[in-house]
Amino acid sequence: MNQPIYRLYPPPYDSENLCGLYLRLKLHEQGTPDQPFVYANFLSSLDGRIALENRSGIPYLPKSLTTPHDFRLFLELEAQSDCLITHGGYLRSLGAGKLGNILQIGQREESADLLAWRIQQGLKPQPAIIIASASLDFTMPDSIREHGQTCLIATGQNADPAKVEWWRQQGYEVIFAGKDRWVEGGALVDALAERGWRSLYLIAGPDMLDAMLRDGKLSRLFQTITHQLMGGQAFRTVSPGPEYGPLGHLKLRSLYYDPSSPNDTGQWFAQFGINN
């Protein structure tokens, strides 16, 4: 984990340690009461895949995309959040044991420093959890209550009222942040801003990224690009919807080269600003 990585942009070219690279950004200090700082992180291949689909059209994250170095930076981004925005699909996968739990900070030996860092920065030990879901069909992991995390379920006005009521009876707050069944980026960010949360980390998939970008709410996009052509005829990318036009034009803020992984090929850690 302590191998150097290389800064390609901004100049000058230099070597830096991976650990601490994103903590130094202090993203939790970038938001204001009116405009929380919303950031997302994606991992893609050189040919733009973030997931492949199996024969039934079900997407999955290929193992060769993920690396310990990228995961460390993912955790550093999590450590700077007032709240994590996830979705019903992740909780279904978590409940089925298909994905690991990423809802709490510093629970592994190699990331324990991040919990101490949060406390030193004046952040709560654990971020709040926001679950975006149109279906409201998912199971809630015990870990959220065990760690005393505030947890909100966000859905649209036309969500099934019986399911909304069911979650409320379980003691969860359900907020409406969209006119139909879907959560809209603007309505969600406004609702979270009212609670005083200023750094919102989107750990959801491409649909929530789309919702934020189209409503002009995304502040920063982190993208790790591994140096592999993945191929695969059925795949997912970060942009599932219609053309973005100028909304999709991003400004590079930093670019680092990690020559060592995956499999001694390499990857870039890129950071893009949107209107900042």
For residue 31, the minimal CB distance to ligand NAP (Å) is 21
Residue ranges in 188-217 that form contacts with ligand NAP under rule CB under 6 A = 204-208, 211
For residue 113, the minimal CB distance to ligand NAP (Å) is 23
Q: Are the C-beta atoms of residues 175 and 129 closer than 8 Å to each other?
A: no
First to last CA, the chain: 30
Q: Are the C-beta atoms of residues 137 and 113 closer than 8 Å to each other?
A: no
Q: Which helix H or strand E contains 272, and what residues bound it?
A: strand 267-273
Length of the chain: 276
For residue 16, the minimal CB distance to ligand NAP (Å) is 23
For residues 56 to 75, the per-residue mask of contacts with ligand NAP, x marking binding by CB under 6 A and - elsewhere, is ---xxx---x----------
Determine if 135 is a binding residue for ligand NAP (CB under 6 A): yes
Instruction: Provide the residue type at 241 as one letter.
Output: G
4-9 and 251-258 strand pairing: antiparallel
235-236 and 173-176 strand pairing: unpaired
Residue ranges in 137-196 that form contacts with ligand NAP under rule CB under 6 A = 137-138, 182-183
Residue ranges in 80-109 that form contacts with ligand NAP under rule CB under 6 A = 87-89
> What's the rounded Cα separation, in Å, for the pair 234 and 53?
5
Closer to ligand NAP by CB, 65 or 274: give it.
Answer: 65
Closer to ligand NAP by CB, 117 or 256: give it.
Answer: 256
Q: Residues in the site for ligand NAP, rule: CB under 6 A?
A: 42-43, 50-51, 59-61, 65, 87-89, 132-135, 137-138, 182-183, 204-208, 211, 236
